Amino acid sequence: MTLALVARPHVIIVGAGLAGPALASALAGQGIRSTVLERHSTPQNIGGVILVAPNAMRVLDKQVGIEPRLRAAGCTYDAIDIYTEGSGSLNRVGGFMTTNGNVRGLTIARPVLQNLLLDRCQEYDDGRITIRYSSRLARIQEDKDAVTAVLEDGTEIKGDILIGADGIGSLVRQHILGETPVQPKYSGAVSLGSVLRRDQVQLPATMQLPAFFYTRSGTILLFAMDDDTIQWATTSPVPDRDRHSWQAYRESGQAIAQLQADWGHVTIEPIASLVRNTNNENIRLWAPYEMPVLPRWHTARTCVLGDAAHAIPPSMGQGAAQAFEDVGVLSRLLSEYKPTSTSTSTSFESTFAQFEALRRPRVDMIRKMTAKAESSRGATSSNLGWYVKNTVIRGAFMMFGKGKECYMNGGEVTGYDANAIDVQV
Ligand SMILES: Cc1cc2nc3c(=O)[nH]c(=O)nc-3n(C[C@H](O)[C@H](O)[C@H](O)COP(=O)(O)OP(=O)(O)OC[C@H]3O[C@@H](n4cnc5c(N)ncnc54)[C@H](O)[C@@H]3O)c2cc1C
């Protein structure tokens, strides 16, 4: 079916990371044309495993239409199991049930997810989606009738609205905030770990992934990347440095030295084999930055979403999921969009205001929950301190977890359905 493209806005999307191509596909499904600008010449195959929780999966299924491909490429999970360190072993104390309304979560490598999103965009090559690589946005001009993206090489691209899906260092955000730019803030702890073959790791036969370990030395998250590989990550409180110098921290051997200092003494499996098989060549480092709360997310014709608006550290696996929820809500609002006054810029502005009003409280709630989760993740120096922490964690799952498996329900986070909320424009 050919959908009428007439009287629909032309949307410029800056960024072909995760939110950009997802938004382009969701809009194309509604007959809305977009041009996606990406500064790199090709997709960058970087990044580790991403958790696609049910709240994100709903958007990728209903609005983007790639659920079966995700299932084929990633690893479906129903719960995140929690373990604590006992004497000489890890003991399962319960878990978080993540399946929600029959929608199941998934772990997948970020590059695989990104490529599936970009492949989906290719299917709208009837003029609905144009992806332009090597197109770095340099500045934005907005006037009463249109918005213009000016690229670094001077090329000008005109559209009705411009959406910044340009990540944590967003230039679109800078345009929106004008004189008062807000800088991303380092979360205070760097994520260290590696990707290993399953046969390199002594996984207990009964251990399901993803699994999360609380130990005296800190915490570890272990998840499946695909059928043959797993990724593990811990966080270490390393002082802030310039956002672009973390690579030097890794290459100089400081990252592996830190990992060894934190975990080299641990003999419990699978931790010992995870650490033993991680070295200066395969160690992965990711320094999460967080966006402070922005005073506004939009102007008359531009708006930010995803990490550009609200980057959240990955501790609850909700960073990318919040970007996908944004995509679900904004694409619905834009598909309902009808010019209501002689000034279309005013109408777009009210659509963006509604988007911000719908999304801001939800993102703030996830941000607070993430901060709370992070505060319990450090190492515990004294025996008494560990005894208390261990007892509290076990007790919480026994008291609040349903049934003998002690599963807590994460419905408040994973139950969100961007398709079900009221978006009357
Ligand atoms: C390299 C990398 C690795 C990551 N690894 C993990 C991980 O292991 N686990 C996890 O949970 N989360 C990870 N994340 C975070 C997670 O991917 C984000 O939360 C999620 O991608 C948010 O999507 P986004 O589209 O808002 O931003 P991003 O995915 O960051 O995409 C932004 C895009 O905008 C482009 N861009 C930026 N500026 C311009 C410009 N001026 N002109 C044109 N294009 C521009 C960038 O090149 C990029 O492609 C990673 C992010 C990155 C960038």
State if residue 166 touches ligand 1 by the CB under 6 angstroms criterion: yes
Ligand 1 mean position, distance from CA 18 (Å): 7
| Diameter over CA atoms, the chain | 72
Q: Whose CA is nearest to atom 11 of ligand 1?
A: 50
- HEC profile of 240-290: CCCCCCHHHHHHCCHHHHHHHHHHCCCCCCCHHHHHHCCCCCCCEEECCEE
Q: Which 8-state DSSP code applies to residue 315?
A: G
Ligand 1 closest atom vs CA 136: 42
CB 29 near ligand 1, within 6 Å: no
* Grouped pLDDT means (10 residues each) for the chain, 425 residues: 58 98 97 97 90 96 97 94 91 87 91 97 96 98 95 98 96 92 86 95 93 94 93 91 83 95 95 97 90 94 97 86 98 84 74 96 93 78 87 87 81 90 77
Ligand 1 center–CA 359 separation, angstroms? 19
Residue 70 contacts residue 57 (beta carbons within 8 Å): yes
Report how far ligand 1's centroid is from the alpha carbon of 171 (Å).
13
Give the residue, by CA position, lying nearest to ligand 1 atom 3.
47
pLDDT for the residue numbered 244: 73
3-state secondary structure string across 50-93: EEECHHHHHHHHHCCCCHHHHHHHCEEECEEEEEEECCCCEEEE
Domains of the chain: 10-46+107-185+292-373 (3.50.50.60), 77-103+187-289+376-413 (3.30.9.30)
Q: Using a 6 Å cutoff on CB, does residue 79 contact ligand 1?
A: no
Q: Please report the pLDDT score of residue 343 as a whole number.
A: 62
Spatial distance between the Cα atoms of 402 and 319, rounded to a whole number of angstroms: 27
C-beta 402 within 6 A of ligand 1: no
Q: Which pLDDT score, from 0 to 100, does residue 304 have?
A: 98
The kind and range of the H/E element at 223 are: strand 218-224
Instruction: Indicate which atom in ligand 1 lies nearest the CA of residue 172.
Output: 41
pTM: 0.93
For residue 55, the one-letter residue type is N
How many residues are recorded in the chain? 425
Alpha-carbon distances of 98 from 56, 294, 346, rounded to whole Å: 12, 30, 40
Q: pLDDT value at position 257?
A: 97
Amino acid 74: pLDDT: 95
Q: What is the model's pLDDT at position 342?
A: 57
